[in-house]
A = this chain, B = another copy of it.
Amino acid sequence: MRDRGFGGPNVCALVGISYRQLDYWARTGLLEPSLAPATGSGSRRLYSYGDLVELKVIKRLLDGGVSLRAARRAIDFLRQNLAGDLSSVNLVLDGKRSILARSGEEIVDLLAGGQGVLNIVPLGSVLRELDAAIVELDERRPVQAGETADPAGSSEGGTPRLDREA
């Protein structure tokens, strides 16, 4: 089941970032938890599976040498272009625009015509790695309390989020 929520520290372990980063990103609006935002000290953020995907993409970008600023733009784009099946798509950035490329040829075309730098993120591998991390986490620490997605009000019509559709 990927419908449950994930707590802050667990998220950090899953995507491989520090809590400080997760916190900072939430505060600065890069990625607020879609299941439950923080409501003052003592509360708990609850992240959805889609959130995890986005976070992992950001992490990939940072590892690839992309600045957080550029990553913000990339995520903004990604949120608005949720192609059906993410697992076979590549996220391509060229500094200005962003594109979702389905085939390798498409990328070669971009290379031929474009004059800028291209940053390419194969989303398939992101999903695979994330899923692997989740099962590994569940093995070590079999699903705890407070992780069932449904914090009272469950009909939110906010920003569209990523979701698996393979």
Each complex incorporates copies of this chain amounting to 2
B107 contacts A64, C-beta separation under 8 Å: no
- Bound-state CA distance A129–B62 (Å) is 28
Contact B64 A118 (CB under 8 A): yes
B-chain residues with CB within 8 Å of residue A112 when the two chains form the complex: 104
Closest beta carbon of chain B to A111's beta carbon, Å: 6
Report whether B115 and A93 are in contact in the complex, using a CB–CB cutoff of 8 Å.
no
User: Does A138 have its Cβ within 8 Å of any Cβ on chain B?
Assistant: no
A166 CB contacts on chain B under 8 angstroms: none
For residues 135 through 149 of chain A, which have their beta carbon under 8 Å from a beta carbon of chain B?
none
Shortest beta-carbon distance from A115 to chain B in Å: 4
Interface residues on chain A, size class: 20 to 34
Whole-angstrom CA separation of A64 from B119 in the bound complex: 8
Given contacts A90-B111, A111-B122, contact A64 B104 (CB under 8 A): no
**B66–A65 CB distance below 8 A:** yes
Chain A 59-77 against B: per-residue CB contact (8 Å), 1 yes, 0 no? 0110111110111011000
Instruction: Provide 19 A-B residue pairs closer than 8 Å at the C-beta atoms, listed in order of the A residue.
Output: A60-B116, A60-B117, A61-B117, A63-B116, A64-B95, A64-B118, A65-B66, A65-B69, A65-B70, A65-B71, A65-B73, A104-B108, A104-B111, A108-B108, A111-B120, A115-B125, A115-B129, A117-B119, A118-B119
